[in-house]
Amino acid sequence: MLSWYGLFGTFTGIALVTVMTLPLAALVVAVRWRTTGTVRAPLAEVAMVHSTVPMVWMTLLPGSHAGEVIGRVSLVPMRDLASMGSVGIVGNLLVFAALGFFAPLRFPALASVRGVVALAAGCSLLIEVAQFVLLLDRVSSVDDVLLNAAGAGIAAWLSRPWWLTPADGPVPGPRSPRPRRAVRSG
């Protein structure tokens, strides 16, 4: 039998919950599409949240000695990259990738790679501080911040073609009859 910890306290459990909530996410997009008349904003909102929250959740999972030891802090850039391995590097690049891709589509003020990188770096710094303060037995590393911000920046750069396109128009519905033209007598 699957326990609450198995669902919410492990990487596999978080991935399972994420997949199980996909229909709910699709429903939210559909309802918001029908109420707002546009699909871009609802899709961007739901994709940002549905893809970013599980990644952040995974970064805040406690280690085996959580609460017992103070976590390690690494402030020298590029020192931890070798010990991360390719899975750790790719994982860190993906933490804020969805945020980086969809934020400029949803929020025009963030329609720059520089703005997205700054937002992701700030969010990543908050995560690293939380890992340390909450005694999660995790390494708080500047390399994590750099990789998280770089991943968001790459994703933002990939979404650039859609930044300048106009948002989609109203939801197509049943065609209304054409208005009658006034008949002039004369």
Average pLDDT over residues 82-101: 95
3-state secondary structure at position 28: helix
Q: Give 133-169 pLDDT, tens digit per residue.
A: 999 999 999 999 999 999 999 999 999 998 867 655 4
Q: Under the phi-then-psi rule, with left for phi > 0, alpha for psi from -120 to 50, and beta for the rest, what region is 70?
A: beta
Can you give the residue range of the structural domain that contains 101?
4-163
Q: What is the pLDDT of residue 95?
A: 97
Structure tokens at 114: 């520089």
Residue spans of beta strands (DSSP E) within the chain: 73-74, 140-141
Does residue 180 lie in a domain region? no
| Range among 7-16, 92-101, 177-186 with highest mean pLDDT value | 92-101
Does residue 69 lie in a domain region? yes
Does residue 120 lie in a domain region? yes
Structure tokens at 61: 């999972």
Does residue 105 lie in a domain region? yes
Does residue 175 lie in a domain region? no
Q: Tell me how many domains the chain contains.
A: 1
Residues 6 or more apart in contact with residue 40 via CB below 8 angstroms: 105, 106, 167, 168
Q: What is the pLDDT of residue 171?
A: 44
Residue 180 in this model has a pLDDT that exceeds 90: no
Q: What is the CA radius of gyration of the chain?
A: 22
Q: What is the pLDDT of residue 124?
A: 98
Which has more confidence, 168 or 87?
Answer: 87
- CA dihedral for 25, 52, 49, 112, sign (positive or negative): negative
Q: Assign 3-state DSSP to the chain and report helix, strand, coil percentages, each to 5.
A: 65, 0, 35
Which has more confidence, 68 or 7?
Answer: 68
Q: What is the pLDDT of residue 27?
A: 95
Q: How many CB atoms lie within 10 A of CB 131?
A: 24
Q: What is the pLDDT of residue 7?
A: 65
Would you say how long the chain is, in residues?
A: 186
Kindly report the average pLDDT of the chain as a whole number. 87
Average pLDDT over residues 118-147: 96
The answer to whether the beta carbons of residues 107 and 156 sit under 8 Å apart is: no
Closest CA to 63 of 126, 9, 5: 9
Which has more confidence, 171 or 160?
Answer: 160
Q: What is the pLDDT of residue 174?
A: 46
Residue 54 in this model has a pLDDT that exceeds 90: yes
Of the pLDDT bands very low, low, confident and very high (cuts 50, 70, 90), residue 102 is: very high
Does residue 179 lie in a domain region? no
Structure tokens at 88: 């750790």
